[in-house]
């Protein structure tokens, strides 16, 4: 009876139409069940990355190049830029030093020129040449009077004036020899200062030309690199801002790729689940989303699992009942054999006793 009851339950349970492909497709779809929430989060992250990229581009202020062009630029390393800046600073320092020395020498020459002028204004210096001229004029007047070329009446005043001038100059010449030496010393200092100022100015001009040539070379380099107009002093900052742009662009691309991969994976998983459910005969609405399909597939799988567990229990009961039935049959057979053997022994005993 127990075996019949179990067999009846198994018959009522019927054959399972469970399709394992539904469970496989469900396992692949479950990670994407909350795709809408993930999409919103990824879109927010992508928008934040886009805003950061826009800000970085604004800071760079180089609209002539797009992201890919910025990425393809063959630019010098920061170490090379530092070396170039160091070289320029050295030349610029020399220019500044030599200009400063030229200005100092020029100021010194101007001060000495003023001293010479003031000394000349404050001291009457009689030179040997001036004294010779005065004496020559005196002698010429006296010679004209003696030769009769000039009358005494006319030549006496001239002779007297030239005589006094020559005497005065002779006396002044004696007094001004020391002043003349001082004046000549000032003039020599002034000339030396002028020459030094000119020398420093020439050196400064040479270094300035060297600096101008250096700057022109830098301008040529920036043109070759495709960033014409970037100053050497601004290069480090510009490189950092370019790196910020590329980092922001990479972050945006990463978020967009992540969103696209997630959407594609969810679409593929939804398509595979729909196909598996259709083959298993599970009805699915045409516009059903992944979450709705997953819920229905989960119900299908859970019901199938419950049915399998129930069937396995019944099969075990069936096996147990069969064993019990077999044992019962063996017991009945054993008892029948025992009765037969007893009857045979009883019959033999009666026959032996002639009864």
- Distance CA(70)–CA(245), nearest Å, equals 9
- Distance CA(346)–CA(160), nearest Å, equals 209
The CA-based dihedral angle spanning residues 265, 270, 271, 275, taken in that order and rounded to the nearest 10 degrees: 140
Residue whose token pair is 């020899």: 177
pLDDT average per 10 residues of sequence, the chain (355 residues)? 55 59 80 77 91 92 86 92 94 92 89 84 66 76 77 76 73 61 82 89 92 94 90 93 94 91 85 83 75 79 69 64 68 76 75 70
Of the candidates 260, 256, 270, the residue with the CA atom closest to the CA atom of residue 33 = 270
What is the pLDDT at residue 145? 78
Which pTM was predicted? 0.56
Q: How far is CA 327 from the centre of its chain?
A: 86
- Distance CA(255)–CA(96), nearest Å, equals 53
- Distance CA(53)–CA(44), nearest Å, equals 14
**Residue count of the chain:** 355
3-state secondary structure of 24: helix
- Distance CA(235)–CA(77), nearest Å, equals 10
- Distance CA(341)–CA(209), nearest Å, equals 138
The CA-based dihedral angle spanning residues 195, 198, 203, 204, taken in that order and rounded to the nearest 10 degrees: 140
- Distance CA(117)–CA(29), nearest Å, equals 104
SS3 per residue for 49-103: HHHHHHHHHHHHCCCCCCHHHHHHCCCCCHHHHHHHHHHHHHHHHHHHHHHHHHH
What is the pLDDT at residue 40? 86
Provide the angle, in degrees to the nearest 10, between the axes of the packed helices 290-352 and 2-13. 160
Residues 6+ apart with CB under 8 A from 240: none
What is the pLDDT at residue 16? 53
Cβ atoms of 194 and 109 within 8 Å: the answer is: yes
For residue 83, what are its two tokens?
């070396």
**Other C-beta atoms within 10 Å of 207: how many?**
19
Cβ atoms of 259 and 46 within 8 Å: the answer is: yes
User: What sign has the CA pseudo-torsion 287, 293, 295, 296?
Assistant: positive
Q: What angle do CA 167, 169, 173 make, to 5 degrees?
A: 120
- Distance CA(30)–CA(23), nearest Å, equals 10
What is the pLDDT at residue 164? 79
Q: How far is CA 243 from CA 31, 55, 226, 293, in A?
A: 36, 13, 16, 46
DSSP labels for 152-183?
HHHHHHHHHHHHHHHHHHHHHHHHHHHHHHHH
Of the candidates 315, 314, 312, 283, the residue with the CA atom closest to the CA atom of residue 296 = 283
């Amino acid at each position: 009876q127990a075996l019949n009851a179990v067999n009846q339950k198994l018959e009522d349970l019927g054959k399972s139409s469970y399709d394992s492909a539904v469970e496989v497709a469900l396992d692949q779809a479950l990670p994407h069940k909350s795709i809408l929430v993930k999409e919103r989060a990824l879109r927010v992250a992508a928008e934040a990355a886009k805003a950061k990229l826009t800000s970085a581009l604004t800071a760079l202020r180089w609209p002539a190049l797009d992201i890919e062009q910025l990425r393809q630029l063959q630019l010098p390393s920061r170490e090379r830029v530092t070396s170039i800046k160091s070289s320029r600073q050295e030349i610029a320092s020399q220019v500044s030093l030599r200009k400063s020395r030229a200005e100092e020498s020029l100021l010194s020459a101007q001060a000495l020129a003023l001293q010479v002028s003031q000394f000349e204004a404050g001291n009457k210096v009689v030179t040997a040449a001036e004294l010779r001229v005065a004496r020559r004029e005196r002698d010429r007047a006296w010679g004209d009077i003696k030769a009769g070329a000039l009358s005494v009446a006319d030549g006496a005043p001239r002779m007297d004036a030239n005589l006094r001038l020559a005497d005065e100059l002779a006396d002044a010449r004696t007094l001004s020899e020391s002043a003349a030496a001082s004046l000549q010393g000032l003039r020599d200092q002034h000339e030396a200062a002028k020459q030094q100022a000119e020398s420093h100015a020439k050196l400064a001009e040479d270094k300035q030309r060297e600096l101008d040539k250096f700057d022109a070379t830098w301008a040529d380099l920036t043109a070759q690199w495709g960033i014409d107009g970037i100053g050497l002093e601004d290069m480090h900052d510009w490189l950092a801002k370019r790196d910020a742009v590329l980092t922001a662009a990479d972050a945006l691309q990463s978020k967009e790729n992540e969103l696209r991969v997630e959407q594609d994976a969810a679409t593929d998983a939804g398509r595979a689940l729909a196909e598996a459910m259709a083959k298993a005969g599970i009805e699915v609405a045409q516009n059903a989303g992944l979450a709705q399909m997953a819920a229905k597939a989960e119900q299908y799988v859970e019901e199938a699992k419950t049915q399998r567990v129930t069937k396995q229990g019944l099969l075990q009961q069936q096996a147990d009942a069969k064993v019990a039935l077999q044992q019962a049959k063996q017991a009945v057979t054993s008892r029948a054999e025992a009765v037969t053997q007893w009857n045979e022994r009883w019959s033999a005993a009666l026959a032996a006793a002639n009864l």
